[in-house]
Structures are given as structure tokens and as C-alpha cells.
Amino acid sequence: MTEETAQFLDITPFMDQGVAPQLCLPREPDSIWRVRQQPIQPGVFQPQPQAWSTVKEGDLVRIPLIPYRTSSRNPEEVLLAAIQIGQRNVREFSELLRIHLVVGDPIQDLEEHNAFRFWLGVAVRTH
């Protein structure tokens, strides 16, 4: 059974400093994590191994948050998109012990584009 965990991260300090948001998660000894480094490409459904990094050493798993944009200004779409992105990531792995989503807060209103921008990080523990 795959453990599914999620958390929100205040991205304001990162935005104020002009750096991409990230979360550092404690890494258990002997665990292996795969961390998404590139965004999910719309319409691309085959595995993208180059989009992931592997973490086998150290005390922390660094999870970068990647910006995504919704197709409307419906707030529910942010959560649905985050879940769909997480599910698409799961399909790339045959064995998962844990999937961890990090959702950036606040969500940016892109009124001029009739959309929202949100930040999402994905990490999966495979061993």
C-alpha cells in the first residue's frame, strides 16, 4: 500500500527573495526517493525518466516546487490539477512506498489570463 502525504508551503519568502520555492523533507536511512525536477508536459503520457532526480544519500530530500497554470479561474481546478499531476507521476513507477505532494501557498491570481498559477512539488519513495 502506498502512503500518500501532502503539505502546504508558504512560498512568500521565496518569492520575496526571487528564488524558486523548495521544501526539504527528512530522509530515512537507506530510503531512495525520486524527485520531479521538470514540469509535467501537457499531452505527454509516456514516462519521462529525465524529469526525475534520484536521492540515495544525505539526511534530506530537497523537493523543488514547479509552477503550473490552470485553464480557468475556478479555485477548485487548482486542487484537481495538483491531484491529477500527482497521479500522472505515480504511473511512472512500478513500486511506490510513498508519494509526497507539496503545494505552494498562496496561489497567484492571473486575472489577465483568466487563470491561477500554483506551485507543486512531487517526490516519491521507491525504497
| Per-residue pLDDT at 41 exceeds 80 | no
Residue 48 — φ and ψ, nearest 5°?
Answer: -125, 75
114 — pLDDT class (breaks 50, 70, 90) = very high
The pLDDT of 110-127, averaged and rounded, is: 92
| Per-residue pLDDT at 89 exceeds 70 | no
| Per-residue pLDDT at 42 exceeds 70 | no
CB atoms within 10 A of CB 49: 8
pTM, to two decimals: 0.87
The amino acid that residue 75 corresponds to is: P
